[in-house]
Every structure is written in structure tokens, then in C-alpha cells.
Chain A
């Protein structure tokens, strides 16, 4: 480090005790074993979140929310603003890749049993982060106010109306009225750029704090480790750069289409389906009959999906009460079974 760097570090250290943080990072160790590669998934999620934050802020400079302006402003961003097409495509592709990485991170954590004591809260905050990411995806999908987004939001919000007793009230709350209109667009915009970022930032903060306090879980008995800084961190940065390049390649070769402007009176386009990360739930609801005994099939499906989500969220707690000799089998069954079901339903939903 040159003299200027040392002087700057001294200056900061004098005020913020920064050397203690560096010292801590240097001593933090990351386990080395055959599944270590999955430790990078969380970092990629964090990087993609930062990429989404940066590209989202840039889009916000030109995006104008409203039934008469959303579509037009996105069109303007894509065709007139310098590099607007790139930022929009990076934001759209980044969102999808981020959700994919969150799934990879979640299942790897589950199958490495990293949710066990003392990491229960890390797991719970991670599950909350997945929910927030999906809410981000759902709310952001409507913002261009195009035909696909309009009808997908209609179908998606219809499901909320199935909730017993409060369904209609919740539907009106989400849509800002009985139908998907400009009011819904304003609500989704507020949710997407203010409420969700605040919640996500706080939850990421908590999640990262837990990870730093507890360190990374050892997936096996291997005693080998590597220093987090700089060894693991350099690998992280290398992977982030590769991911950034991959997102850029997708943005250039497959720019995100805008399609036609939303038209309430137009008929829904044929074969309309939700985004891939909602396909498994969509396919599950589609398979249910109109009524199971006296309960509407869709309502039963929503209850089942929520129960499954709650079961998944409470993994560390039910795992703790499973007898020791059955613990491994239970985790394998739930983890691999859940992953297989998710993949099968998604693929079925895509091609049905």
C-alpha cells in the first residue's frame, strides 16, 4: 500500500476503528470441502441485488408511472435514452437470474443442513428474502404496463380474492379497486421502489449480520479452511464479474421485449402464463378440481401452498424435534422431494 493509501486508512481508522474490521475479515475463515462452490451462491445473490438496485435507480430517472405514461416511458427508455435499452434489459434479466440464484442458494443451504442451530434465524430471514424477491418480480412485471403484464397481474391478483373472509377486501387493497387499473399500477410502483427495497435491505442486513456472527456452516467434518479476506473475497469478485458479463451478453443478444400496450378491453393473448418462478404454483392450482368435497379447489390449493411455505420456513424447528436417527432421511426426503416437485411442476407448467 502506498503512502497515500496508508494515510487514508490511518485517517479512517482514527475515526472509525476500521483496522479492527479488516483484522476481523482477515481472520474470518471459510470451510473448504467438495460443496464449497455453493458458498458463492449467496454472494452472487447479493451482487445481483446491488445490480438491481443500481439499474433500478437509473430506470427511475426516466420511468413515469401511470396508465398513460408507463408504457410510453419504458418505450422511451428502450429506444431513446442512451444505454436505456441496456439498463432495462439488465434489470429484467438480472431479476430473473437473481431469483434463480436465490433458489440455488436456498436449496444448497437446506441440503447442507446449514439451517440447524444456531442458524435458525438466518434460515428464516433467507426464506423471507425469497418471498420479497418474488414480490419484487410480481410487482415489477406490471410496471411496463404491457399486455402480458396486465393479464398476468389480473390472474395473479385474482388468486388473492380467493382468501376466505378477507379475500375481496385484500383484492381491493392490492388493486386499488375492483379491477387492474392505473391505481394498481401506482400501488405496485410504490411497492416496487419504496416498500420492498426498504424491507429487502433490512432483511439482507439482518441475514448478513447473522452470517458474519455465526460464520459459515461446515457441510462435513473437513477441517480445512481459507481466509475470507482476501482469498474467498477475490473468488467472489471473480464470479461476480463473470455473472455481470453473462447478464450483459443476455441483455445484448436477447433484449427484453416490450410488446403491446395494456388494453383493458382487448382479449387476453393466447397461452398467457406467469413468470417461470410462479409456474409451479400456477400448475398446481390448475390441476385441482373445481371442488374438493365442499371446499373450492382453488381455495384448497392456496391453503396447501401456504402450508407448504410455512412448513419450509419452519424447517429448523421441525428438524430439531425429528428423532436423531431419522433426521438425515427426513431432510433428504423433504429437500430432494421439494426440489423435484418444484422442477417437475415448473416444467409441466411451461409445456402444458
Chain B
């Protein structure tokens, strides 16, 4: 009985939708666009929740007469203009009492945030080309953001935003770059999301916001990067760089790491030949000497760490137990990461303090691995000696036995 009730509850919205006069007429229409709307709405989250065409567009789905069904006096609103779409969606999505019936955890401030966004501001100023709700969410195939087929699912967001922002023709009047999508795709964040499938990797709206999308200013971006890279941001704020940075209104992170094309940082960033420090400092300056010192510390801890790993792998290949060496190697890795983070203090002694701990751990790990390999060789030598001794003993016993048996 319970199963029957469940099946009825699931089937009811679909049945109600199929019986709607709007669907009957629009599905039978000669207009391919109308047919496509009916088809795409079949998988829309609103239909799943029991809503139908008239829930947004008004009208009476029970009337078969077109005039009666789509009578403006009876509440039919028809297709909203682009300018009216935020308000059109906001009829429900800005109403907490209405929305909580369907999804209590869904925010109801999207319309408000949109009005503060660049999109919303330009829309208000009469720009008809800027994005409205349906540009990102689609009009009749809306899916929740957690659904992988949704246009606003994390992995699909770069393409959704890029549809406009990578379109040079569309962006030309705004005089903004159109290479963000290409840069993001090859960035460390883009690779994590698009190649490794890490849905926790930041995507356009993680930094820019979604409904309240703004191009971040100096203050904003420092907050945005620091949300994930907490220690880096904190170290930077207490570093000697913080004050001149603020004076010159430099982007806290993007100045060195770029905005969309962020690559995995290497010690080359600190190079005295082609590093990012040269953007502001002269090669012979004191600051470059500090950078060189930091760079050599980082390179030392990285090479010690890599050397320890190689030694451990060699010992493990011989079947030696390297659990303790692995622990030391793990500690070296932790120190290496911490040292990389400490770079943002721009104080060589702070970096050296952490890096030296990593170097010491890595050296101990490498020594343990070398000792294990030596032990491995000694074991074989020992076995050889023992085998020789046992063989001689067996031979002696055999001779003794032969002696006894020949005597008897």
C-alpha cells in the first residue's frame, strides 16, 4: 500500500503536466521551438516539484479554448521580456514563505543579489544584453546546482559563464578580456576541476559570486583567495610587502600569481633571472637577495624530499619495511608545504626555520632507507654463511653415518 502511494505521488506531477491543455496544444504545435520547450520542461526541477506552465506564465490549463486559457484578464502573463525575467523568477524565489514549501534550504536573496551585481546594474541601466536568470539556468530545463547535468553544476560553470564571456563579439562593447575561460582551463584550478574531477576546486562563481557577480577589486580578491589559502593570506598581511602593496593598490595575490591563469607555484617564481619579483625589484637589490635565499631553501627541502622518496622506493622494492622512514618522509613533505606557505612572510629566516626541519626529516628518512638496503645485503650474506655452515654440518653427519654403517 505504501509503495502504491509512493508511486502515485511520483506519478502525479507527471500526469498533471501531461493533462495540462498548455502541454497538449504546445506539443501539437507546428512550431519546433514550442515543441522543444515542452520536451525540455519534462526534466525541469519545477515540473518534478509539481509545477506546470501556468505556475509561471499564468492562464488556465483546464480551458481548451486558447482565448480563455491565455486570457490576460485571468492572469495570463505570457513570455516575460528579458528585462522582466529577474522579477518574473523572483515572484516565487524571493518569497521565503512560498519557497520553504519546496526547499527550505534554498536561499531567497537571488533577485536582491542580482540587483547588486554588474549584470543587474547594467540591466537596470537599460542594457538588454547582460545575463538574466535564464541565461545561466536555462528557461525550461532548470536543474538543481548539485545535478551534474545542470548548467550551473560546478564542472559546467566555466562553459556557462564562458558562453558570453569568451564571446569576443558579445564582450566588445564592454571592453573586457575574453580569454578568462581559456586561461582558467589551463590553470591549476581548472585542471583540478576539469581534468581530475575535483568538484571542490574553485570555479568562476567561487571568486566572483554567482547572483551577485562582480569583478573583484583589490580588497575583494584578497578576501576571496584567503578563503581557501588562509595561511598564505595571513602571512602576507603581516609581511613587509603588505603596506607597499596596499599603497600601490596591487591585487594581493593576482599580482604575482595572475588572476585566471594561476599555475602550480614553483621556485622559479622567485628566480633572480625571470621571477615575478623582477616586476618591481632590481636584480641586484636586497629584496632579490632575500628571494634568492628563500628559493635556495625551498629547493634544498624539495630535493631532500625527492631524494628520500627515491631511497625509500629502492628499499621497498627489496621488500624492506619502510613504515618509519615513510613517517619521516611524510613529516618532510609537511614541512616542505609549510615552507612554501611561509614564503608569503617574505622573511628568509622564517622560511629557513621550517625548511630546515623538513630537510632534517628527509635526511633521516633517506638514511633509514640506506640502512635498510645495507641490512638487506647483510641478510643475504648472513644467509649464505648460515647455509654454508648447515651444509658442512649435514656433510659431517652424512660422513659420520656412513662411517657407522660401514662399521656395522
Q: Does B321 contact A248, Cβ atoms closer than 8 Å? A: no
**CB-contact partner of A238 in B323, B397, B404, under 8 A:** B397
Q: Does A75 contact B321, Cβ atoms closer than 8 Å? A: yes
A178 in contact (CB, < 8 A): no
Q: Does A248 contact B394, Cβ atoms closer than 8 Å? A: no
Interface string of A207-246 (1 = CB under 8 A from B): 0000000000000000000000011001101100110110
Q: Does A245 contact B401, Cβ atoms closer than 8 Å? A: no
**CB-contact partner of B397 in A85, A237, A244, under 8 A:** A237
Q: Does B379 contact A252, Cβ atoms closer than 8 Å? A: yes
A202 in contact (CB, < 8 A): no
**CB-contact partner of B401 in A86, A235, A252, A254, under 8 A:** A235
Residues B297-355 near A (CB distance < 8 A): 319, 321, 323-324
Q: Does A234 contact B321, Cβ atoms closer than 8 Å? A: no
Q: Does A245 contact B386, Cβ atoms closer than 8 Å? A: yes
Distance of A257 Cα from B320 Cα, bound (Å): 9
A79-B323, A238-B394, A252-B380 as given contacts; A230 in contact with B401, CB under 8 Å = yes
Q: Does A238 contact B398, Cβ atoms closer than 8 Å? A: yes
Query: Distance (Å) between the CB of B46 and the closest chain A CB?
Result: 39
Tell me how many residues of B have a C-beta within 8 Å of chain A.
20
**CB-contact partner of B390 in A230, A235, A241, under 8 A:** A241
Distance of A255 Cα from B372 Cα, bound (Å): 13
Query: Distance (Å) between the CB of A83 and the closest chain B CB?
Result: 9
A256 and chain B: residue at smallest CB distance: B319
B396 and chain A: residue at smallest CB distance: A238
Distance of A249 Cα from B404 Cα, bound (Å): 31
Which residues from B are CB-within-8-Å of A234? Answer: 397, 400-401, 404
B387 in contact (CB, < 8 A): yes
**CB-contact partner of A230 in B323, B379, B383, B404, under 8 A:** B404
Interface string of B375-404 (1 = CB under 8 A from A): 000011011001100110110011011001
Distance of A235 Cα from B401 Cα, bound (Å): 8
Distance of A234 Cα from B393 Cα, bound (Å): 11
Distance of A248 Cα from B319 Cα, bound (Å): 16
Distance of A242 Cα from B405 Cα, bound (Å): 21
Query: Distance (Å) between the CB of B324 and the closest chain A CB?
Result: 6
Q: Does B383 contact A252, Cβ atoms closer than 8 Å? A: yes
Distance of A254 Cα from B41 Cα, bound (Å): 64
Which residues from A are CB-within-8-Å of B324? Answer: 79
**CB-contact partner of A249 in B387, B394, B398, under 8 A:** B387
Which residues from B are CB-within-8-Å of A249? Answer: 383, 387
A78 in contact (CB, < 8 A): yes
Q: Does A78 contact B321, Cβ atoms closer than 8 Å? A: yes
Which residues from A are CB-within-8-Å of B397? Answer: 234, 237-238, 241
Q: Does B321 contact A79, Cβ atoms closer than 8 Å? A: yes
Q: Does A231 contact B404, Cβ atoms closer than 8 Å? A: yes
Which residues from B are CB-within-8-Å of A241? Answer: 390, 393-394, 397
Which residues from A are CB-within-8-Å of B387? Answer: 245, 248-249
B398 and chain A: residue at smallest CB distance: A238
Q: Does A248 contact B386, Cβ atoms closer than 8 Å? A: yes
- Which residue, of B391, B398, B401, has the highest number of chain A Cβ atoms within 10 A? B401
Distance of A75 Cα from B327 Cα, bound (Å): 13
Which residues from B are CB-within-8-Å of A245? Answer: 386-387, 390-391
Q: Does A258 contact B321, Cβ atoms closer than 8 Å? A: yes
Distance of A235 Cα from B387 Cα, bound (Å): 18
Q: Does A255 contact B319, Cβ atoms closer than 8 Å? A: yes
Distance of A252 Cα from B405 Cα, bound (Å): 36
Which residues from B are CB-within-8-Å of A255? Answer: 319
Which residues from B are CB-within-8-Å of A78? Answer: 321
Q: Does A75 contact B386, Cβ atoms closer than 8 Å? A: no
Which residues from B are CB-within-8-Å of A238? Answer: 394, 397-398, 401
Query: Distance (Å) between the CB of A226 and the closest chain B CB?
Result: 8
Interface string of A254-270 (1 = CB under 8 A from B): 11011000000000000
Distance of A245 Cα from B380 Cα, bound (Å): 13
Query: Distance (Å) between the CB of A255 and the closest chain B CB?
Result: 5
Interface string of B150-175 (1 = CB under 8 A from A): 00000000000000000000000000
Distance of A245 Cα from B397 Cα, bound (Å): 15
Query: Distance (Å) between the CB of A118 and the closest chain B CB?
Result: 30
Query: Distance (Å) between the CB of A324 and the closest chain B CB?
Result: 39
B372 and chain A: residue at smallest CB distance: A79
Distance of A230 Cα from B400 Cα, bound (Å): 10
Query: Distance (Å) between the CB of B375 and the closest chain A CB?
Result: 9
Query: Distance (Å) between the CB of B239 and the closest chain A CB?
Result: 42
Distance of A231 Cα from B402 Cα, bound (Å): 9
Which residues from A are CB-within-8-Å of B386? Answer: 245, 248
Q: Does B383 contact A248, Cβ atoms closer than 8 Å? A: yes
Distance of A305 Cα from B379 Cα, bound (Å): 43
Residues A265-307 near B (CB distance < 8 A): none
Distance of A235 Cα from B379 Cα, bound (Å): 29
Distance of A238 Cα from B399 Cα, bound (Å): 11
Distance of A79 Cα from B327 Cα, bound (Å): 13
Distance of A335 Cα from B100 Cα, bound (Å): 76
Distance of A245 Cα from B386 Cα, bound (Å): 8
Name A's B-contacting residues (CB within 8 A): 75, 78-79, 85-86, 230-231, 234-235, 237-238, 241-242, 244-245, 248-249, 252, 254-255, 257-258
A/B interface sample: 23 pairs, CB < 8 A: A75-B321, A75-B323, A78-B321, A79-B324, A85-B321, A230-B401, A231-B401, A231-B405, A234-B397, A234-B400, A234-B404, A238-B394, A238-B397, A238-B401, A241-B394, A242-B394, A245-B386, A245-B387, A245-B390, A249-B383, A249-B387, A252-B382, A252-B383
Name B's A-contacting residues (CB within 8 A): 319, 321, 323-324, 379-380, 382-383, 386-387, 390-391, 393-394, 397-398, 400-401, 404-405
Shortest Cβ-Cβ A-B pairs, 5 listed: A234-B401, A252-B383, A245-B390, A79-B321, A238-B397
Given contacts A79-B324, A237-B397, A258-B321, list 8 more A-B pairs with CB under 8 A. Answer: A79-B321, A234-B397, A235-B401, A238-B401, A241-B390, A241-B393, A245-B390, A248-B383
